[in-house]
Structures are given as structure tokens and as C-alpha cells.
Amino acid sequence: MAIHVGKKIKEEVYRQRISITAFAKKISRSRNVVYDIFERESVDTDLLNKIGKVLNCDFFSLYSAQKEYSLEGMKTFNVREPETNYAKSSQESSLLHQNQLLKNEVAYLKKIINLIESKKTIKQKKAGKKK
């Protein structure tokens, strides 16, 4: 079964609710070229890599998961780029975002506690002076 990577890209763009104009701008292409990409069965590797980074998806894994060839005796490459941005799942991204929101909330609550404690200290000092 042949992979139609253009359809997979289209599905992901629509799943992420990215406008075609915004997506085109992010990959430095026109809207017409984006629609053309959606129709392609294959995409140049440099462009596919750029699209993968923008969409946070590893489209190359579609090909490596394909079972139309035997892996026996085939050389495999294990190359790790230092800054691969599309390895995170959407769930992981969501959890990281939620974690940052919680950290912000904790910092905000600490400020509130410090204000309350400083008001208590001021009231205690005033009460001490009255005696």
C-alpha cells in the first residue's frame, strides 16, 4: 500500500485547525502550493522536514513503518538531530502547557500569601504599640 503523504499532511493541518494561509506562511510557500502539496503522493525531504517541524509531526515515520520491504540485511540509520522539535506528542505538549499554568498559579498564590503575612505583621506591630 503506497503512502499518500500529501493526504496525511492535509489531515494534520485540518486536525490542528491551522488556516491554509498561516500554514503556507510558516513553510514559506503560497496557498496554491499548499493545496498542491495536499495532492502529492510524495514530498521532497527538505520540505517534508520543514512541514514536520511546523506541524510537530514525524511524517518520515510513515515510511519507516511501511512493511513493503524486508528489513533483513538492510542498513538502518540512527541519526539524532540536536534540535528535533516534532518529537513531542500533542498530549505531552498539553501537559507541559498545563504544568506551566500551574507554576504561574503557584507563584501568584505565593505573592498573595506574602501580602497577607505582611499585613498580619503590620497589624501585630500596631497592636503591640497600643498596649
pLDDT digits (tens, 9 = 90+) for 2-61: 789 999 999 999 999 999 999 999 999 999 999 999 999 999 999 999 999 999 998 888
Give, as one character, the DSSP assignment of residue 2.
-
The dihedral of CA 109, 111, 114, 116: what is its sign? negative
For the chain, what is the largest distance between any 2 Cα atoms, rounded to a whole number of angstroms? 91
Q: Give the fold, CATH level 3, of 1-66.
A: 434 Repressor (Amino-terminal Domain) (1.10.260)
* Residue 96 pLDDT level (bands cut at 50, 70, 90): confident
CA–CA distance, 55 with 86 (Å, rounded to integer): 7
